[in-house]
Amino acid sequence: MGNKYLDCINNVCHGKSEATDLAIRLAQHHTRNTEMITLDHAYHGHIISALNISPYKLYQQVDNSHLMPEHVYVVPCPDTYRGKYTDISHPEQDLGQLYADEVKNAINKMKSQHKSPSFFIAESMQSCGGQIIYPPGYLQKVYKYVHDAGGICIADEVQVGFGRVGSDYWAFQPQGVVPDIVTIGKPMGNGHPVAAVVTTKDISDSFKASGMSYFNTYGGNPVSCAIASAVLDVIEKEKLITHAKDVGQYWTDKLKSMMSEFSIIGDVRGLGLFLGIDLVKDRNSRAPATEEADYVIERMKKEFIILSTDGPHSNVLKMKPPMTLNRDDVDFFCSKLAIVFKELENKNNNAMLDTNVTTEVSNTTSCHNDNKVTDFLSEVQFNGSFPLTETSGNTKSLKVY
């Protein structure tokens, strides 16, 4: 499982939100500080304490009933393709340093008010922000700034951990950092509701000394623990980390090769089986192709492939499939995606040729089964680890990517 970093674990059951809430409590009791730093477009859970540090969710509300607290500082997500600092706007500059300096600026603002950070929290790769891979050195610099100011660093590995990056067990490892607290969940139970918080003995002792013990009705229950333990065994025995690296690189190479044929692909990014395709209207301007992304999602459903979009403009196709995904599945995915991209090209070309004629592109060129995907969804509970099966006879299987 890699190097041993942290040595105290608390099974908090259910999911990400409870894990985040406990991590916040641990940080506050250990540092005695009040200020919090989170990334723009971040999502860390649905309960109030987690929503406070989840701009992704707060931006969606229309009634402004839940405002961002003043003690929460939102810093730019280190998106080097379409963020505040990019490879185009700041060529040959250290983008990791530029984005890390935003955290330093937030800390300086706190100091001007005689305050200090309690913690900095971030997914080790940002999911909801559009499958963002941080520039080299970013987390190293940020962690140093936060530690020097008396805060601690929390790594949210709920969606990105357990070997998904392919090179390591945890997604923070490629960044060369050691978090003070790690939250884990989702794949931890392969669909069973279980999550945990991992931290150091010093932080755990600070919480214990507060006099407020942690209690959870289902925390540490033997059923959840047995399931989580079995998942760890499967990851190791089936060599799923190595598998993620191999299939992920194969998938990345195939997608990048498609860029020469389809200009709508602006960027392909990711590590292991955590990938994103940034769709653009024009590669020079990088204008997000949001409507086209919506079309791709709906069209791929008719090919029995479930995808979703994310990012500030909802134009990034995100792929975080079951780690059992194989090269044949990748070939299937890319072949269907190519068909959909060609349909989009034809649709755009026809629109330019005659703006007075409404051209309806057939959505059945490669899907001859009239059953709707919703018929399958009604019988399937998607838990993030849906087993892929093959087409058999006249029945098509639903594939989740």
% of the chain with per-residue pLDDT over 70 = 84
Does residue 269 lie in a domain region?
A: yes
Co-location of 247 and 232 in the same domain: no
Co-location of 222 and 276 in the same domain: no
Higher per-residue confidence, 114 vs 350: 114
Co-location of 292 and 320 in the same domain: yes
pLDDT in tens, 211-234: 887 877 777 888 888 999 999 999
d(CA 177, CA 301): 39
Co-location of 185 and 214 in the same domain: yes
Does residue 1 lie in a domain region?
A: no
What is the pLDDT confidence band of residue 60, given thresholds at 50, 70 and 90? confident
Co-location of 169 and 32 in the same domain: yes
For the chain, how many residues are written? 401
pLDDT in tens, 93-111: 999 999 999 999 999 999 9
Co-location of 160 and 252 in the same domain: no
What does the pLDDT read at residue 347?
82
What does the pLDDT read at residue 390?
36
What does the pLDDT read at residue 228?
92
CATH number at residue 72: 3.40.640.10
Co-location of 226 and 254 in the same domain: no
Cα separation values, 75 from 39, 342, 373, Å:
5, 38, 39
What does the pLDDT read at residue 386?
36
Query: Is-contact 182 198, C-beta < 8 A?
Result: yes
Beta-bridge partner residues of 221: none
Short-list 382, 242, 391, 244, CA closest to 325: 244
* pLDDT over 80 (residue 400): no
- What mean pLDDT is predicted for residues 50-57? 91
Co-location of 229 and 339 in the same domain: no
Pick the range with the lowest mean pLDDT from 48-57, 160-169, 233-242, 265-274.
48-57
What is the pLDDT confidence band of residue 397, given thresholds at 50, 70 and 90? low
- What mean pLDDT is predicted for residues 345-365? 56
% of the chain with per-residue pLDDT over 90 = 71
d(CA 20, CA 41): 16
Short-list 275, 39, 3, CA closest to 155: 39
Q: What share of the chain is helix, strand, coil (3-state, %, to 5)?
A: 35, 15, 45
Does residue 229 lie in a domain region?
A: yes
What does the pLDDT read at residue 382?
32
d(CA 376, CA 67): 39
d(CA 67, CA 277): 32
Query: Is-contact 62 142, C-beta < 8 A?
Result: no
pLDDT in tens, 295-317: 999 999 999 999 999 999 999 99
Higher per-residue confidence, 1 vs 351: 351
What does the pLDDT read at residue 243?
97
From 237, 252, 279, the end of a domain falls on 237
Co-location of 310 and 195 in the same domain: no
What does the pLDDT read at residue 58?
85
What does the pLDDT read at residue 394?
43
Does residue 128 lie in a domain region?
A: yes
Co-location of 22 and 84 in the same domain: yes
Q: Characterise 110 by phi-psi region: left (phi > 0), alpha (psi -120 to 50), beta (else).
A: alpha
pLDDT in tens, 363-372: 333 333 433 3
How far apart are the two ends of the chain, measured CA to CA in Å?
25
Cα separation values, 244 from 62, 115, 270, Å:
39, 43, 12
* pLDDT over 80 (residue 14): no
Co-location of 184 and 82 in the same domain: yes
Beta-bridge partner residues of 132: 126
Beta-bridge partner residues of 267: 278
* pLDDT over 90 (residue 13): no
pTM exceeds 0.75: yes
What is the pLDDT confidence band of residue 376, given thresholds at 50, 70 and 90? very low
Short-list 185, 161, 206, CA closest to 31: 206
CATH number at residue 284: 3.90.1150.10
User: Residue 203 belongs to what domain range?
Assistant: 8-237
Does residue 247 lie in a domain region?
A: yes
Query: Is-contact 128 41, C-beta < 8 A?
Result: yes
Short-list 145, 233, 157, CA closest to 198: 157
Does residue 3 lie in a domain region?
A: no
From 222, 237, 252, the end of a domain falls on 237
From 202, 237, 272, the end of a domain falls on 237
As a whole number, the mean pLDDT across the chain is 86
* pLDDT over 80 (residue 154): yes
pLDDT in tens, 248-295: 999 999 999 999 999 999 999 999 999 999 999 999 999 999 999 999
d(CA 230, CA 215): 25
Query: Is-contact 35 75, C-beta < 8 A?
Result: no
Query: Is-contact 273 246, C-beta < 8 A?
Result: no
Residue 337, H or E segment = helix 327-353
Number of domains in the chain: 2
- What mean pLDDT is predicted for residues 43-52? 91
Does residue 143 lie in a domain region?
A: yes
